[in-house]
Amino acid sequence: MAANGAGCEQPQKRVGGKQKHNGNFTDSSVSERRHKDREERLSLVLWRRPVVTLNYFLLETLITLKEWTLKLWRRKGSVFLFLVLCSLFSVAYSIEGAHQKHVQHLEKRFLWCAYWVGLGILSSVGLGTGLHTFLLYLGPHIASVTLAAYECGSTDFPEPPYPDQIICPQEGGVEGSISLWSIISKVRLEACMWGAGTAIGELPPYFMARAARLSGADPDDEDYEEFEEMLEQAERAQDVVTRAKLGVQNMVQKVGFFGILACASIPNPLFDLAGITCGHFLVPFWTFFGATLIGKAIVKMHIQKLFVIITFSKHIVEQMVSLIGSVPRVGPALQKPFSEYLEAQRSKLHHQAGEGTPAGENWLSWVFEKVVLVMVCYFVCSIINSMAQSYAKRLQQQRYSEEKTK
């Protein structure tokens, strides 16, 4: 009886940093439960559970709007000052006068820069799940400017923001007078703004990891948990991906500003880890953001611009088309649409404004438009799925809290 009585009241004890109550909570059970909950969250996608996913998405949207409203209410002074400045600018914008010419010029430039900054943010935000706006927007834009510069023999077509299409100037330039530097200068503004946007998109992981480190609490975010596990298992890592992640982490941690600059200056799919690393080791904000901004907006963008410009230079494009035609059997069939597409682009560049768009659009442009549409739709779906999973995570955390209080 004594043994049975002793078994009825087991003392509370710590097991692996987690409290054990009557055997209900252990490291293995908690780990299994979290893994099961994570799998349940990941199953919340539109193509599997559309009704529940949309419902959770709307609820998470309302919660997020409420949180943002409360944050703005806590900063009433800053919000009021911003509204006053917007009101003054609106009055200056609506009043007629000689200043309207400068106001409209600044408006166009601001909207043009904001457009590319926004695309840059969409590209890098979300820990690798962003929209590939370089392939969809900036790359094709640089390619079209490059082709136009070589075809027109000049870069004197309108300054950005461009009209719906680029048209060669009346007085064409001398053939062969176009240089790489002139084309780089023509697209520098939009490319640098896009690069600055990608640097801004790297800030959420930095702030998340920094806040978690300063609070002293273990965050529930899986990305941060994976990062901490990777640090603990650093010496035993064998696979290439983990070694590459550790290489980024070691460079950022040991070299500091120049390590961040080196990682940000090259196309690096693992750079998301740099933000978490810098936040975890409390790297100063301006050290991280300054190096990231210089690397992405200046160094990396000039490398990418140079690659696109060289790839779409006139003589290289013509050589590529001729090589396509030399492929046995299918070469001529593949060469024809590419040749027609290039000819259509040349005719567009030389037709006058108001003449209408020349005919000759082929299936290449149609395919590209559909690819862009599919990628944008997938990006929107990923946002809906992510917000639905965030709401499911809120419910699971609420359930954990209720169980701990019992």
Q: Mean pLDDT, to the nearest integer, of 328-340? A: 74
Domain membership of residue 108 (yes or no) is no
The reported pLDDT for the residue numbered 165 is 67
Domain-embedded: residue 215: yes
Mean pLDDT, residues 384-392 taken together: 86
Task: Assess whether 258 and 294 both reside in one domain.
Answer: yes
The residue among 285, 308, 331 that closes a domain is 308
- Domain boundary (262, 285, 308) is at 308
Mind listing the pLDDT tens digit for each residue in 171-214? 655 555 678 888 888 889 999 999 999 999 888 888 877 877 77
Query: At residue 296, does pLDDT exceed 70?
Result: yes
300 and 376 both lie in a single domain = no
Model pTM score: 0.68
**Does residue 242 share a domain with residue 194?**
no
Question: Tens of pLDDT along 98-146?
Answer: 777 777 778 888 888 999 999 888 888 765 556 778 888 888 888 888 8
Q: Quote the pLDDT of residue 194.
A: 93
Query: Are 333 and 252 within one domain?
Result: no
Question: Lowest-confidence range among 3-12, 83-92, 380-389?
Answer: 3-12
Neighbours of 314 (CB within 10 A): 15
| Nearest-angstrom CA–CA distance, 297 and 295 | 6
pLDDT of residue 313: 79
Does residue 10 fall inside a structural domain? Answer: no
Same domain, 140 and 264: no
In the prediction, which pLDDT does 117 show?
A: 92
350-355: which pairs have CB atoms within 8 A and are 24 or more residues apart?
A: 350/151, 350/167, 350/168, 351/167, 352/167, 353/163, 353/167
Q: How confident is the model at residue 12 (pLDDT cuts 50, 70, 90)?
A: very low
pLDDT digits (tens, 9 = 90+) for 221-272: 555 555 555 555 544 555 555 666 666 667 776 777 888 888 888 776 667 6
Cα 223 to Cα 368: distance, rounded to the nearest angstrom: 34
Asked if residue 350 is part of any domain, the answer here is yes
Please check whether residues 226 and 265 belong to one and the same domain. yes
Residue 41's nearest CA partner among 384, 391, 398, 399 is: 391
pLDDT at 62: 93
> In the chain, how many domains are there?
2
Say whether both 341 and 371 belong to one domain: yes
Q: Do 225 and 356 belong to one domain? A: no
